[in-house]
């Protein structure tokens, strides 16, 4: 049985759960991290010495780091779907996964943190606005790519799309100015039509720390 440790609204857990949804894998997810805690136990530390989420245990095999987990699931269960069959296309998928996690998401995440996870009176709006401009400029690289193909690695959804695609739900639902990104917008709409994306990515997050906490409780069924 596949087990996953991490709360549903963790930015690093979301793409892993989306991958699981796309692959239709039976699994059990354990609430961990954030307000749930549970990461500082000896048992958890043996699985993940970083004491962070996500962590999976796949029939006894423990693995951490979201990108590694996505690749493992694609290798084990998604050949021809999340993992392309052509070696060059695999390399392209890896390229876009690395770019998404190392370049695009770091340019956007401070905007999300500065608005949703920061109290209104403590927000540095000039910094948020400047970072939003930087994020938009960075995303033009993916926008150009998506003008040539419907998905980042080619004609079908692959692991290439998961890291950036998971971040785009929050990006497009933040109250910020965004540049014209017609190809990313069309790609995002295609993602929104996918049942696994709807289930695992499109989670409400509110507009303040209090609203974030309320949404977290609601999506985990906590009163």
| Distance (Å, whole) CA 177 – CA 174 | 9
Average pLDDT, the chain: 96
DSSP 62: E
pLDDT at 91 over 90: yes
Q: What is the pLDDT of residue 218?
A: 87
Domain boundaries, the chain: 2-77, 87-210
Kindly state the average pLDDT of the residues 114-131. Answer: 97
Architecture of the CATH domain 2-77: 3-Layer(aba) Sandwich (3.40)
Label residue 37 left, alpha or beta by phi (over 0 means left) and psi (-120 to 50 means alpha): left
pLDDT digits (tens, 9 = 90+) for 19-58: 999 999 999 999 999 889 999 999 999 999 999 999 999 9
pLDDT at 219 over 90: no
209: how many CB neighbours lie within 10 A of its CB? 14
Q: Are strands 2-5 and 27-30 parallel, antiparallel or unpaired?
A: parallel
- Strand-pair partners of 63: 56
pLDDT digits (tens, 9 = 90+) for 127-180: 999 999 999 999 999 999 999 999 999 999 999 999 999 999 999 999 999 999
pLDDT at 223 over 70: no
Residue 190 confidence class, pLDDT cut points 50, 70, 90: very high
Q: What is the pLDDT of residue 222?
A: 80
87-210, what's its fold? Glutathione S-transferase Yfyf (Class Pi); Chain A, domain 2 (1.20.1050)
């Amino acid at each position: 049985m596949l087990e996953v440790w991490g709360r549903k609204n963790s930015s690093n857990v979301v793409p892993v759960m989306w991958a699981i949804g796309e692959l239709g894998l039976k699994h059990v997810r354990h609430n961990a991290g954030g307000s749930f805690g549970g990461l500082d136990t000896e048992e958890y530390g043996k699985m993940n010495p970083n004491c962070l989420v996500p962590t999976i245990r796949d029939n006894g095999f423990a693995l951490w780091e979201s990108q590694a987990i996505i690749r493992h699931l694609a290798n084990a269960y998604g050949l021809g779907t999340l993992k392309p069959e052509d070696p060059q296309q695999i390399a392209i998928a890896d390229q876009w996964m690395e770019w998404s996690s190392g370049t695009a998401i770091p340019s956007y995440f401070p905007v999300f943190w500065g608005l949703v996870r920061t109290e209104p009176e403590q927000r540095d709006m000039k910094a948020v606005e400047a970072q939003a401009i930087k994020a938009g400029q960075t995303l033009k690289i993916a926008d150009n790519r998506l003008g040539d193909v419907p998905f980042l690695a080619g004609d079908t959804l692959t692991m290439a799309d998961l890291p950036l695609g998971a971040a785009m739900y929050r990006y497009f639902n933040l109250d910020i100015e965004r540049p014209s990104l017609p190809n990313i917008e069309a790609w995002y709409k295609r993602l929104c039509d996918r049942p696994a994306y709807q289930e695992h990515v499109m989670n409400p997050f509110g507009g303040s720390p209090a609203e974030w906490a309320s949404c977290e409780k609601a999506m985990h069924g906590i009163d």
